[in-house]
Every structure is written in structure tokens, then in C-alpha cells.
Chain A
Amino acid sequence: RKEVEQDPGPFNVPEGATVAFNCTYSNSASQSFFWYRQDCRKEPKLLMSVYSSGNEDGRFTAQLNRASQYISLLIRDSKLSDSATYLCVVTTPSGSNTGKLIFGQGTTLQVKP
């Protein structure tokens, strides 16, 4: 089983649509959770951290369900500039506690005019 699993998409949506991405992780001891955004051939950039209580940042809402080992990202009122690959990322405890990031394969979003 993959450590972090995402539907690769692509998700093709019109401007203004609401779109939701899901992610599951295999290690129940995972500690921290993030959504990163990656534009084509660019570096990953942190979109938002994901907290147990859920959190919102403008049009973006992230949810975490530890019992189901499930993370979600909701984007409301999609903009053309939201077109990118969204990476689900977790950290798991290790002996040295380095905070290494474990990435999902990413979900591609294409917002059309």
C-alpha cells in the first residue's frame, strides 16, 4: 500500500466551480499533514498545513480525519490561477525525528474559462 495515496486526476472544472481532493495515508502514527501546490516543472510550495480541527484559508478548506487516515482539500470559486498539481504530504515519526516529508503523487487540477 502506498504511504500517501491520491487520485491523480486530472480534474477539469470551469471557473467558479468548487472542487474537492482526497488523500489517504497508511501510517496511523503520521504526525503532520500538509497540502502543497506544484506548478509544472517548479518546486512544491506550501499551500496550507492541516490541523485536526480543520482549517480554512480564504477559498481553501482542509480537513483531517485521523480515524480514517484521510485528508481533504476543498477549493471554492476556482480561479484559472488555481490550475496546478496539489500534493498531499505527511510526516511520520522516525528514530531521528527529522521531519522528512512523504509526498503523494499529486492531483492535477485544470480550471477552464
Chain B
Amino acid sequence: EPEVTQTPSHQVTQMGQEVILRCVPISNHLYFYWYRQILGQKVEFLVSFYNNEISEKSEIFDDQFSVERPDGSNFTLKIRSTKLEDSAMYFCASRDKRVGSAARNEQFFGPGTRLTVL
């Protein structure tokens, strides 16, 4: 069964360093997302990406964040200068159909990257 993959599973970095989190969405999917979950808190939307551009972003997704789909398979999240409060689990998700049918709104999540900023 196709699945979303993410690398690395755990990233430890020093405050102020740049990190790139990588995701390979399911191959025929059209919409891509990043979410984050701070330990003990709810899952929060960061950004959505469609047709090679950001379609929506949250207040969390400030100038320190960027996303890219550099080729036909990878989808990356870059944090330019990490802060302690960026420590969280980052989930990538993808979806294959246009909004309109509840069943087709299903988003498939990758296993996550645990980012620890020291």
C-alpha cells in the first residue's frame, strides 16, 4: 500500500541552525501539507501546497519557514534559523482529490520527524 515517507525520523540541531525536513508524498497525490505537534499539544496546520505553490499558510508559518517541491517526488520544509520553540513533531501529509467529497478529503500522514532544538 502506498505511504507517505519522511526523513529523518529524528533531527537534533542547535538554535539558530537551518534544518530541512524531507517528505515523499504518495505519488499520484495533488495536495501536500505540513503540520506540527508540540509535545502534549494538538496537531497544528502549518502550510498547504498545490500546483507548485503555497495555497494556504498559518500564522505559525512565518518568514523562517519555506517549502519546496524540488522534483516530482520530494516535498521539503525548511526552517532557516531554528528556535527552541520549534521543537516538535513535524508531519507531512498528502491528498489526491479535489475538495468536494468527504471521502476524498482524506489526508495520509507520514510517520513524522521529531525535531529537537537545543
Contacts and interface: CB of A to CB of B under 8 A. Distances in A.
Interface in A60-86: none
A44 B33 CA distance: 13
Given A49-B103, A98-B55, A44 B109 contact: yes
Given A41-B89, A44-B43, A49-B103, A101 B35 contact: yes
A99 B43 contact: no
Among B55, B102, B114: residue with most chain A CB under 10 A: B102
Q: Is the interface of A mostly helix, strand, loop or mixed?
A: loop
Contacts of B82: none
A50 B111 CA distance: 24
Contact of B56 (A38, A44, A96, A103): A96
Q: Is the interface of B mostly helix, strand, loop or mixed?
A: strand
B43 A103 contact: yes
Interface stretch (B11-19, B44-52, B69-77): B44-52
A103 B95 contact: no
B56 to A, nearest CB: 4
B110 interface: yes
Interface of B: 31, 33, 35, 41-45, 48, 50, 55-56, 89, 91, 93, 95, 99, 102-103, 105-112, 114
- Which 5 pairs, one residue from A and one from B, show the smallest C-beta to C-beta distance? A43-B109, A98-B48, A103-B43, A98-B56, A105-B42
